[in-house]
């Protein structure tokens, strides 16, 4: 049916070609008469008939994009799961896309700013695909970085090729990633320029090393699924009133010292710091590099964080405290952003870990039953019982209290000192006592 639709569109366009080339035929009419039906035939929900929110609709008309400090509006932004995959810039058929400099430069500039690997320039009469990993300059010829050019009368014969590249189903299967990595594409374009390579080198400080390397190797989209990870959220108790009593320089200095201590712990336990949000600290185990002991590593870090925070006090000399929450489950992780990249994690696992923190008590580490099940043989717990969790309902939770006697840390198993004692030497006067005051679950 989609090929029949395209054949009919091509026939109608050819029949009235001179009328469509007239300056009086507007771009708005072109979109309505030809471009929207064209991409609908490819399988895109052009009018959001599925009723998705603005964030998750498949096609955003007149998107908003920051380009070198100015807000621009690409004609079409095609996306899946809220992630941009390519732009389309539309022009009136009166334009000569094959030989005009400005339309190609405009499209490539938009896509370069959004870090999209490819994008499309079309007036329906012509259809051009550009490799947008190549940084554009105003002096570029129209053919620079152009990797595919089709006149409209070739659409029916090349429809399988177009569907195999730009349909939602093909993109979900990695068609664009395969295309940009193909020898065919590389022969038609210059290599990524030095400025882009230098920028990638800078990502090494902002992204996990394996992720930065994948970007440098040319992987256009970083999005991975993990069957099981462990996520930790920590929050400084009473931070909001504390921030109102401190001058900004002192407040930022205090947070920097605390988070630097936590960063050292993440490195020593082989965990990935995801981000900080105000006074909240998020870390995950089991990504981007998978490991079987992710729950154990996160639990050890949580205990060490409680030790580390004891070295810090408010202006009145009162020791600071943490609330910590931990949950184990599946997650997705990847790189988002255009200019300011971030490696982030999404899933109900993240939401549940955050709920564990917000429903915990000062100086406590609250974990879900899923995390408890992976730790009970080596760690000490206090059974909190069932509590009501906002947005989740009744959940049985536990407080992590310590490590069972005789259970070595990974480094101790290799004959070296444990990591918690080493960090205490840097940030505290001595290791925290980890013997629970009550009978605990998992201690037999």
Same domain, 405 and 265: yes
> By residue range, what is the domain housing residue 383?
222-427
Residues linked to residue 331 through DSSP beta bridges, in sequence order = 226
Whether 205 is in a domain gets the answer no
Per residue in 64-106, pLDDT (tens digit) is 888 888 889 999 999 988 889 999 999 999 888 999 999 999 9
pTM recorded for the entire structure: 0.50
Three-state SS at 172 = helix
Cross-strand partners of 87:
77
The answer to whether residue 216 is domain-embedded is no
Token readout for 319 is: 């020791």
pLDDT at position 409 is 56
Q: Quick one: CA dihedral 422, 428, 429, 435, positive or negative?
A: negative
Whole-angstrom Cα distance, residue 320 to residue 227? Answer: 35
In a domain, 201, yes or no: no
**121 within 8 A of 99, measured Cβ to Cβ:** no
- Please say whether the beta carbons of 91 and 122 come within 8 A: yes
Burial class for 385, CB neighbours closer than 10 Å (0-12, 13-18, 19+): exposed
Question: Are 171 and 23 in the same domain?
Answer: yes
Distances (CA, A) of 423 to 276, 284, 316: 20, 19, 25
Do 43 and 147 lie in a common domain? yes
Could you report how far apart the first and last alpha carbons of the chain are, in Å? Answer: 67
Residues paired with 276 in a beta bridge: 281
Q: Read off the pLDDT of residues 374-402 as tens digits, 9 standing for 90 and up.
A: 999 999 999 999 999 888 899 999 999 99
Are 145 and 229 in a shared domain? no
Same domain, 287 and 244: yes
What integer pLDDT is reported at residue 27 of this predicted model?
Answer: 93
Look at residue 196 and tell me if it is in a domain: no
Same domain as 168, residue 227: no
pLDDT band with cut points at 50, 70 and 90 for residue 205? low
Regarding beta strands 76-80 and 83-90, do their DSSP bridges make them parallel or antiparallel, or are they unpaired? antiparallel
Same domain, 173 and 87: yes
Is residue 418 domain-shared with residue 348, that is, in the same domain?
yes
Q: Which two tokens stand for residue 141?
A: 């010829």
Whether residue 421 is predicted with pLDDT greater than 70 in this model: the reply is no
The stretch 204-211 carries a mean pLDDT of 62
Number of domains in the chain: 2
Instruction: List, for residues 324-372, the tens digit of each pLDDT value.
Output: 999 999 988 877 655 556 777 888 899 999 999 999 999 999 999 999 9
Q: Tell me, what CATH number does 420's domain have?
A: 3.30.70.1230
Question: Which one has a higher pLDDT value, 162 or 68?
Answer: 162
Asked, for residue 266, whether it belongs to a domain, the answer is yes
- Mean model confidence pLDDT for the chain: 82
> 20 and 156 share a domain?
yes
Kindly state whether residues 121 and 228 are assigned to the same domain.
Answer: no
Closest CA to 335 of 183, 438, 211: 211
- Model confidence over 241-284: pLDDT tens digits? 888 888 888 888 888 899 989 988 998 898 988 888 888 999 99
- Is the pLDDT confidence value at 441 over 80? no
Residue 324 sits at φ, ψ, to 5 deg, of: -130, 140
What does residue 18 show for φ and ψ, rounded to 5 degrees? Answer: -65, -35
For the stretch 218-235, pLDDT in tens is 655 667 788 899 999 999
Mean pLDDT of 404-408: 72
Residue ending a domain, choose from 169, 191, 213:
191
Beta strands 118-122 and 83-90, pairing class: parallel
- Strand-pairing partners, residue 381, are 400, 441
Q: By C-alpha distance, which of 185, 76, 78 is closest to 129?
A: 185
If asked whether residues 229 and 185 sit together in one domain, one would say no
Whether residue 413 is contained in a domain is answered as: yes
209 in a structural domain: no
Using the CB atoms, write b or e for 144-164: b if 16+ within 10 Å: bbbbbbbebeebbeebeebbe
pLDDT at 66 (0 to 100): 86
Are 156 and 53 members of one domain? yes
**DSSP string for residues in 353-396:** HHHHHHTS-TTEEEEEHHHHHHHTTTEEEEEEEEEEETTTEEEE
**Is 318 in a helix, a strand, or coil?**
coil
pLDDT of 285-296, one tens digit each?
998 888 999 999
d(CA 308, CA 386): 30
Per-residue exposure over 17-48, b if at least 16 CB sit within 10 Å of its own CB, e if not: eeebeeeebebeebbebbbbbbbbbbebebee
Confirm if 400 and 358 have CB atoms less than 8 A apart.
Answer: no
**Rg of the chain on CA atoms, in Å:** 27
- Considering the domain boundaries, does residue 335 fall inside one? yes
Residue 178 maps to which CATH number? 3.90.1570.30
């Amino acid at each position: 049916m989609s090929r029949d639709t395209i054949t009919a569109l091509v026939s109608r366009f050819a029949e009235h070609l001179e009328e469509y080339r007239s300056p009086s035929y507007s771009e708005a009419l072109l979109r309505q008469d030809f471009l929207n039906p064209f991409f609908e035939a490819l399988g895109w929900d052009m009018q959001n008939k599925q009723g998705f929110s603005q964030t998750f609709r498949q096609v955003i008309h007149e998107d908003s994009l920051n380009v070198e400090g100015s807000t621009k509006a690409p004609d079409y932004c095609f996306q899946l799961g809220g992630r941009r995959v390519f732009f389309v810039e539309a022009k009136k058929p009166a334009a000569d896309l094959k030989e005009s400099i400005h339309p190609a430069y405009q499209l490539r500039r938009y896509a370069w700013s959004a870090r999209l690997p490819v994008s499309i320039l079309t007036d329906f009469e012509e259809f051009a695909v550009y490799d947008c990993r190549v940084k554009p300059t105003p002096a570029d010829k129209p053919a620079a970085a152009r990797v595919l050019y089709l006149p409209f009368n070739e659409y029916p014969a090349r429809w399988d090729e177009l569907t195999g590249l730009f349909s939602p189903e093909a993109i979900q299967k990695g068609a664009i990633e395969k295309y940009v990595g193909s020898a065919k594409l590389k022969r038609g374009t210059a290599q990524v320029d030095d400025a882009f390579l230098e920028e990638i080198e800078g990502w090494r400080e902002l992204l996990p090393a394996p992720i930065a390397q994948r970007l440098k190797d040319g992987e256009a989209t970083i999005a991975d699924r993990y069957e099981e990870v462990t996520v930790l959220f920590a929050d400084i108790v009473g931070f909001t009133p504390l921030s109102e009593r401190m001058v900004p320089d002192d407040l930022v200095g205090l947070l920097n010292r605390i988070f630097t201590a936590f960063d050292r712990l993440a490195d020593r336990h082989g965990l990935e710091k995801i981000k900080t949000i105000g006074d909240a600290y998020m870390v995950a185990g089991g990504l981007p590099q998978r490991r079987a002991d992710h729950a154990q590593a996160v639990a050890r870090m949580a205990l060490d964080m409680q030790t580390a925070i004891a070295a810090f006090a408010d202006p009145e000399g009162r020791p600071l405290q943490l609330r910590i929450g931990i949950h184990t489950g599946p997650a997705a992780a990847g790189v988002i952003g255009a200019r300011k990249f971030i490696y982030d994690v999404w899933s109900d696992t993240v939401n549940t870990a955050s709920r564990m923190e917000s429903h915990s008590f000062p100086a406590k580490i609250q974990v879900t039953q899923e995390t408890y099940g992976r730790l009970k043989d080596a760690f000490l717990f206090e059974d909190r019982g069932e509590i009501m969790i906002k947005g989740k309902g009744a959940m049985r939770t536990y407080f992590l209290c310590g490590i069972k006697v005789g259970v070595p840390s990974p480094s101790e198993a290799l004959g070296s000192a444990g990591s918690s004692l080493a960090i205490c030497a840097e940030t505290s006067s001595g290791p925290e006592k980890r013997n629970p005051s009550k009978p605990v679950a998992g201690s037999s």
